[in-house]
Structure 1
Amino acid sequence: MPTNPRATWGFVEFVVVLALINALTTFSTESIVPAQIAIGAEFGINDRIPLQYIISIMFWGMMAGEWLMGPLSDAYGRRPIMNLGLLLFVLGTCVVLLSHSFDGILFGRFIQGLGMAACKITTRAIVRDSYSGDEMARISSFMAIIFIFVPMVAPVFGEIVFLAYGWRAVVWSWLFGALLLIFWFFIRQKESLPIEDRRLIAWQPIKTGVLSIIRNRRTLGFTLTLGCLWGFQLQYLSNAKSLITDIYGIERIGFVMGLIAVGMAFSAAINGSIVRRFGSIRLAKSAIILIFLLSIVDLAVLNVTNHVPWIYFLGSLMIKFSLMGFCYGNLTAAGMVYASKIAGLAASFMSALSSVIGLVLSKIAGMFYNLHLDTFYYPMAIMSALTLLALMWSLSAPATKN
Structure 2
Amino acid sequence: MPPHIDQGPASDQGSQRIGLGFREFVITIALMTASIAFAIDIMLPALPHIASSLKVTNANDAQLVIAVFFFGFGLSQLVFGSLADAFGRRRVLLAGLAIFTVTMLAAAWTESFTALLILRFCQGIGGAAVRICTTAITRDCFGGREMARVMSYIMIVFMMVPILAPTLGQAIITYGDWPWIFVLLGVVGAILFVWASLRMRESLPQAERQALSFGSVASGFSTVLTNRVTSGYMLGLTLFTGVICAFIVTVQQVFGTVYGLGDWLPIAFAGTASGIAIANFANGYFVRRFGMRRISHAAMIGFTLLSAALYLMALAGTPPFIVTYLGISVLLMMFAAIATNFTAISLEPMGHIAGTATAITGFVSTTGGAIVGGLIGQMFNGTVQPLFGGFTAFGALTIIAVLWAEGGRLFTHPGDETALDPGAGHL
TM (norm. structure 1) is 0.90
Shift of 1:259: 1.4
In 1, Cα distance between the equivalents of 2:407 and 2:149?
Answer: 24
Shift of 1:211: 1.3
User: Are 2:280 and 1:268 equivalent residues in the alignment?
Assistant: yes
User: Are 2:199 and 1:183 equivalent residues in the alignment?
Assistant: no
Equivalence map 1:2-401=2 (5 Å)? 4-8=13-17, 9-129=20-140, 140-251=151-262, 252-303=264-315, 306-340=317-351, 342-396=353-407, 398=417
How many equivalent pairs are there? 401
What's the Cα RMSD here? 2.7
Shift of 1:364: 2.5
In 1, Cα distance between the equivalents of 2:14 and 2:191?
Answer: 21
Shift of 1:127: 3.9
Q: Can you list the C-alpha shifts for 1:148-175, whole angstroms capped at 9, x where unaligned? A: 2101111111001111111111112211
Query: Structure 1: where are the runs of 5+ without partners?
Result: none
Is the Cα–Cα contact under 8 Å of residues 301 and 399 in structure 2 kept in the other structure?
yes
Query: Structure 2: where are the runs of 5+ without partners?
Result: 1-9, 409-416
In 2, Cα distance between the equivalents of 1:272 and 1:292?
Answer: 23
Shift of 1:238: 0.8
Shift of 1:64: 2.3
Distance 1:396 1:136, change over 3 A: farther
In 2, Cα distance between the equivalents of 1:33 and 1:192?
Answer: 35
In 1, Cα distance between the equivalents of 2:351 and 2:375?
Answer: 35
Shift of 1:344: 3.9
Distance 1:268 1:249, change over 3 A: same
Q: Can you list the C-alpha shifts for 1:56-98, whole angstroms capped at 9, x where unaligned? A: 0111111221121111111122222222211111121022012
In 1, Cα distance between the equivalents of 2:280 and 2:155?
Answer: 6
Distance 1:393 1:137, change over 3 A: farther
Is the Cα–Cα contact under 8 Å of residues 66 and 118 in structure 1 kept in the other structure?
yes
Q: 2:308 corresponds to which letter in structure 1?
A: I
Distance 1:93 1:81, change over 3 A: same
Q: 2:295 corresponds to which letter in structure 1?
A: L
Distance 1:276 1:362, change over 3 A: same
Q: SS at the partner of 1:180?
A: helix
Distance 1:13 1:34, change over 3 A: same
Percent sequence identity over matched residues?
27
Q: SS at the partner of 1:44?
A: coil
Distance 1:137 1:310, change over 3 A: farther
Shift of 1:101: 1.1
Is the Cα–Cα contact under 8 Å of residues 231 and 357 in structure 1 kept in the other structure?
yes
In 1, Cα distance between the equivalents of 2:95 and 2:355?
Answer: 15
Q: 1:283 corresponds to which letter in structure 2?
A: I
